[in-house]
Structure 1
Amino acid sequence: MWTLSLDRSKENCLDPIGYRITATESEEPKKREKNLKEMKQAKAWEASNRPFQSMISTFLMLFMSGSGLNIISIIITCMAMWTPVKAFFTVNSVFAPYEGEGVSLLVPKLKYCALNMVVMVAGLYKFSIMGLIPTNAEDWISVVPISHPLEVSTGFYF
């Protein structure tokens, strides 16, 4: 005679031949945790590339603004200098969602800062091309004190 048990507890069920449920249950959380770490690391690398995406448009704006002294070129160059400075102060908040155990964020943060430094150097170069950064000796002539001679000799010619 056939009987059907409606008891759903795992104690009464036998595992199929060659299948161990304890092995799959113990490996699944580790695999999921490893996958989460890899995803966080990949997203951190994507976040470190964000300055590169805006770098091209910034370089194009610096090029198109010209080297003359007018308000538009000065504003664009100041923007090219201000954006990296602002980014340096927000590095930790940019990478905060990707922090976790086993996720190394040092190299992505350094890359993020290095790309922002490239934009800042381009802005400094633009300022020097426009002549707003004192780089020559003539730029400092007003600071050099006037030297007065200690002796004065005069002669007469007959």
Structure 2
Amino acid sequence: MAEFRKWTVQHDSERSRIADPPGFDAAAAREQADGSSSGRAAGTGSKLPLAKRQEALQHAATAPFKQVAMLCFMMWMSGSTLHLFSIMTTLSGIYQPLSAILNAKTAFPPDPEGELDTTLPRLTYCAIHGLGVAFAVYKINSMGLLPTHLSDWVSSMRPPAVLEHAAGSLLR
């Protein structure tokens, strides 16, 4: 006779005494365990690629929105003065989205079955990261680091006339 341990459970003997939970389909569970079914129920073959596309769009394409929003918030909070922290934050705001856009092919690999089109989720993914790059470029421009005039490139040209002056005073 087989030796039984103190904390073992024999599922085969208890299976006949326990009723299946509501909504449990024993035939579908047997098919999934046998691997005889390809994972598709009858009549749902045309809806499966649509469900995969929606899942890829919702989860993979829009997932970096929170990350890009946090990065933009950090760039905004760093200020527009020329400090090491604000420059490093802004450069990180350019590098991270650009590297994510360049690695979009690994984030959305092609479907081996050829049924799933990942073009729209990939474009959404790149557009979200493109907004992060656009905010970083705006931030660089507001810090005055973006070369916008000819005098920024050629030293013999005169810089443009200053249109604004700011002065502070203390009242006593």
TM-score if structure 2 supplies the norm length?
A: 0.60
1:58 to 61, 71, 74: 71
Q: Percent identity?
A: 29
State the match for 2:101 in structure 1: 88
State the match for 2:88 in structure 1: 75
State the match for 1:40 in structure 2: 52
- In structure 2, relative to structure 1, the CA distance for the partners of 1:31 and 1:94 (3 Å cut) is farther
> Which whole-Å deviations, capped at 9, do the CAs of 1:82-101 have from their partners, x for residues lacking one?
01111122111111276643
> Which whole-Å deviations, capped at 9, do the CAs of 1:16-64 have from their partners, x for residues lacking one?
xxxxxxxxx9xx6454544542332122102111232212211211110
AA in 2 matched with 1:59: C
Relative contact order (alpha carbons < 8 A, sep ≥ 6): 1 or 2 greater?
1
- In structure 2, relative to structure 1, the CA distance for the partners of 1:64 and 1:97 (3 Å cut) is same
Q: Within 5 A, what are the aligned runs for 1:3-152?
A: 29-31=41-43, 33-46=45-58, 47-96=60-109, 100-142=113-155, 144=157
Alpha-carbon offset, residue 129 of structure 1: 0.8
Matched-pair contact (CA < 8 Å) for 1:44–1:108:
yes
How many residue pairs get matched?
118
Greater share of helix = 1
Alpha-carbon offset, residue 74 of structure 1: 0.7
* Structure 2 residue runs without a partner (length 5+): 1-36, 158-172
Structure 1 vs Structure 2 CA RMSD: 2.4
